[in-house]
Amino acid sequence: MSDERVVVELFFDIGSPYSYLAATQMADLSERTGAEVRWRPFLLGGVFKATGNEMPARVPAKARWMVADLHDWASLYEVPFVFPTALFPKNTLLAQRALTAAPAPAVPMFALALFGAFWVEGRDPSDSAVVRACADAVGLDGAAILAASGEPEIKAQLRATTEDAIARGAFGAPTFFVGDRMFWGNDRIGLIEALLAPDAR
Amino acid sequence: MSDERVVVELFFDIGSPYSYLAATQMADLSERTGAEVRWRPFLLGGVFKATGNEMPARVPAKARWMVADLHDWASLYEVPFVFPTALFPKNTLLAQRALTAAPAPAVPMFALALFGAFWVEGRDPSDSAVVRACADAVGLDGAAILAASGEPEIKAQLRATTEDAIARGAFGAPTFFVGDRMFWGNDRIGLIEALLAPDAR
Report how far residue A83's alpha carbon sits from residue B185's, in angstroms, rounded to the nearest whole number. 22
- pLDDT at A126 (0 to 100): 97
Residue numbers of chain A with a pLDDT score lower than 70: 1-3, 199-201
Which of the residues B2, B16, B30, B149 is marked catalytic? B16
Measure Cα distances from A159 to A45, A54, B61 in Å.
11, 19, 19
List b or e across B167-188, with b for residues whose CB sees 16 or more CB atoms inside 10 angstroms.
Answer: eebbbbbbbbbbeeebbbbbbb
A175: nearest CA partner in chain B: B65
Q: Do B169 and A194 touch (CB under 8 A)?
A: no
Mutate to test the interface with A, among B191, B192, B195 (most CBs of A within 10 A): B191
List, for residues A19-60, the tens digit of each pLDDT value. 999 999 999 999 999 999 999 999 999 999 999 998 877 899
User: pTM for the full model?
Assistant: 0.93
How far does Cα A169 stand from its chain's mean position?
A: 17
Judged by CB atoms closer than 8 Å, whether chains meet at B52 and A60 is answered as yes
Q: What is the pLDDT of residues B129-163, one digit of tens each?
A: 999 999 999 999 999 999 999 999 999 999 999 99
Name the minimum distance, in Å, from the CA of B39 to any CA of chain A: 21
Tens-place pLDDT, residues B156-183: 999 999 999 999 999 999 999 999 999 9
Mean pLDDT throughout B65-92?
A: 95
CA-to-CA distance for A92 and A55, rounded, in angstroms? 14
Residue B200: per-residue pLDDT: 58
B184 conformational bin, left if phi > 0, alpha if psi -120 to 50, beta if neither:
beta
Q: pLDDT at position B56, please?
A: 78
User: Do A42 and A171 form a contact (C-beta atoms < 8 A)?
Assistant: no
Cβ within 8 Å, pair A191-B76: yes
Question: How far apart are the C-alpha atoms of A45 and A159, rounded to whole Å?
Answer: 11
Q: pLDDT tens digit string along B19-61?
A: 999 999 999 999 999 999 999 999 999 999 999 998 877 899 9
Q: Select the residue of A51, A65, A169 nearest B182 (Cβ to Cβ).
A: A65
Chain B residues with beta carbon closer than 8 angstroms to that of A185? 187
Interface check A67 vs B, CB under 8 A? no
Phi–psi pair at A38, nearest 5 degrees:
-105, 110
pLDDT at residue B104 in the model:
97
* pLDDT attached to residue B89: 86
- Given CB atoms, is B126 within the 8 Å cutoff of chain A? no
Q: How far apart are CA A98 and CA A80, in angstroms?
A: 24
Residue A85 CA, distance from chain mean position = 19
B61, A181: Cβ pair inside 8 Å? no
Question: Shortest CB distance from A76 goes to which of B62, B172, B194?
Answer: B194
- Catalytic residue set of A: 16
**Mean pLDDT over residues B180-196, rounded?**
96
Q: Is A170 on the interface with B (CB under 8 A)?
A: yes
What is the C-alpha separation between B123 and B116, in angstroms, rounded? 9
pLDDT of residue B57: 77
B89 touches A: beta carbon within 8 Å: no
